[in-house]
């Protein structure tokens, strides 16, 4: 009498192995996209923080002192509207061994400011954008006091000058 023992077919083993491989590759892709989604969410939050602090005239003491001497118009609350926030991959950064992502903010102001004043407002917005990303990825200790550049596990983030439209 022959005993019936269950055997797994080679096709089933092959199918299972391929499925595990596909799932692992999918997880890597989703993780990469999740990292960019976290960065974009942090960027939006940071831009809003920068916009609110600039619009309400709330500055750190040193910045306030600098502005009171040369840019007193910026101490008066004004309205800034964010039109768009985007990012683009600009290649691989060999210095850090990561892909480089650059954020660009498009904004408009309700008052006519000089180029120098717009640059100051834009710097405040970009600073808060980078700071928010650094906090999100817990990488504040691996960047400088201006949070430029900011790091995540797979990316290095920078900002372009705010584009005024």
Is 0.85 topped by the overall pTM? no
Q: Is residue 28 part of a domain?
A: no
Helices (H) and strands (E) in the chain, counts: 3, 5
Q: Is residue 72 part of a domain?
A: yes
DSSP state of 4: -
Domain of residue 141, residue span: 36-164
Distances (CA, A) of 46 to 14, 51, 79, 132: 48, 8, 17, 5
| Res 66 pLDDT > 90 | no
| Res 49 pLDDT > 90 | no
- Helix H or strand E encompassing 156: strand 155-159
Chain segment 111-120, per-residue pLDDT in tens:
888 888 888 8
How many domains, in total, are found in the chain? 1
What is the residue whose two structure tokens read 């926030």?
85
Say how many C-beta atoms besides its own lie within 10 A of residue 156's C-beta.
20
């Amino acid at each position: 009498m022959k005993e019936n023992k269950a055997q797994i077919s080679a096709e089933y083993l092959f199918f299972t192995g391929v499925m595990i491989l596909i799932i692992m590759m999918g997880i890597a892709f989703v993780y990469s996209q999740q990292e960019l989604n976290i960065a974009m969410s942090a960027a939006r939050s940071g831009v809003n923080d920068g916009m609110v602090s600039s619009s309400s005239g709330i500055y750190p003491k040193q910045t306030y002192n600098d502005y009171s001497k040369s840019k007193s118009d910026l101490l008066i609350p004004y309205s800034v509207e964010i039109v768009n926030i985007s990012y683009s991959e600009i290649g691989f950064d060999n210095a850090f061994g990561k892909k480089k992502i650059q954020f660009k903010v498009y904004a408009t102001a309700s008052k006519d400011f000089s180029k120098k004043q717009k640059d100051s407002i834009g710097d405040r917005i970009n600073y808060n954008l980078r700071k928010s990303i650094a906090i999100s990825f817990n990488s504040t200790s691996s960047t400088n006091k201006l949070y430029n550049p900011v790091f995540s596990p797979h990316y290095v983030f920078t900002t372009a000058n705010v584009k005024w439209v």
